[in-house]
Structure 1
Amino acid sequence: MQRYFIKTNQIDEVTQSITLTGDDVHHIKNVMRLEVTDTILCCDGAGMDYRVRIEQISGSEVQCRILESFSSTGEPNQVEITIAFSLPKGDKVDWVLQKGTELGAYAFIPFTSARTVVKLDEKKAGKRRERWERIVKEAAEQSRRGRIPKVNALTTWRQCLAQFSSFDRILFAYEKGGKALGSLLAEKEAKRFLVIVGPEGGFTEHEAEEAVNQGAALLHLGPRILRAETAPLAVLSCIQYTYGELGGEPL
């Protein structure tokens, strides 16, 4: 059943109805070609799903009747994993956002570091963020997430460092050394993870030192060098599995 994210002001508790607008109308009419009496799922992004029946389709709105409501089941409930990544080249960001959302990432922090090749001015960064948010929303709908992961504004490495205190465990992927993921997860119980991955050229030694000084643990991902877009997804998947997601047995 097709899924759409809504805001709470789109729900009318009195009439037990939901009104869809914007891009969702186009998707319902022209992409999915849904009709009156078809049923869809709406999610408020705060843990509640609504099974609704389409009652009316117009040029700018789709009116739906609420048939039932229930708690969302697509959200990881053991950990919150935020992925901070230095901007890679090309469309690799799209891949990280889409697949990271499918795998259960809580949020994303794109940043620039010493070896970041991609340079965006404020205007371009704003446009990219709008695109990234659309990608994350569509991936969350497709994968039946209970919420849409937040895509933070493009930031600097220094600003990224300043956010470390918001997390229980910071894992800094570093090809020049560090501990295996299994041992790091066993060392310290955590709820809020920050996974940090560098650009194609990796992090500088100074950046690694800065991360450690701010409480990060160096993470080594084995003898193979993973691409910038592969590393965060590998770490995300392993953490999720360890904590009972993706078919794993919870700690």
Structure 2
Amino acid sequence: MTTLVVGASGATGQHLVSQLLKQGQHVRAIVRNAEKLPVSLRNENRLTIIEASILDLTAAEMVEYVADCDAVASCLGHNLTFKGIYGQPRKLVTDATRRLCNAIIVNTPTKAVKYILMNTSGNRNRDLEEPISFTHKCVIGLLRLLLPPHVDNEKAADYLRTHIGQNNQFVKWCAVRPDGLIDEDEVTAYEIHPSPIRSAIFNAGKVSRINVAHFMAALIVDDDTWIKWKGQMPVIYNETSMIVKQAKYR
């Protein structure tokens, strides 16, 4: 099994690459700078590193890199700097998602390819009735005006929901919505819900990046996990428990 990971040099992307390699998977990683990957990953013989900026790739190169992949995982995000938030490309995640899905479709794979998008709990799943307060709606409205990355995350998930949909022959998808990302060194117990169980604005929870990566890897390699969550936008939180050897996802 081969997975293409974009945003592989990011904090969550590195964990995802590591999780997949630990499970015996082959990984293609698109990174702007290979030196940002840990040496331990760069030396893995099942990892193929493609050094490029994702949106600078031609359509033909996109088609080549997704060919023969069983899954594509996006851990792309905007750097938390003034340039990263307000500079170009403002639609990094959306444009990458659109172009990668188009490349998958051009290849007409015999088996549908999984597309796993790392998104945010601040984005509502408009396929479900996810109630939020009036104040919450006002804050989201301000975020749309003031923070282009939030709009990018919304549009990327909306592309999967409305353009790819539930019945595409070649692409099946899942948009993972983590709450309050934190850094941890070990996989811990975590829980998955179809919709937020707390306000992402006023009562945000926490989840470690390594737990997000673990769940994304489970979607790729575990059929039962995939069947349960495909075509959905699950929200992930850490459980308040000690480190465990086997993470719990339900």
TM-score under structure 1 length normalisation: 0.35
Structure possessing the higher radius of gyration over alpha carbons: 1
More helix by share: 2
TM-score under structure 2 length normalisation: 0.35
More strand by share: 1
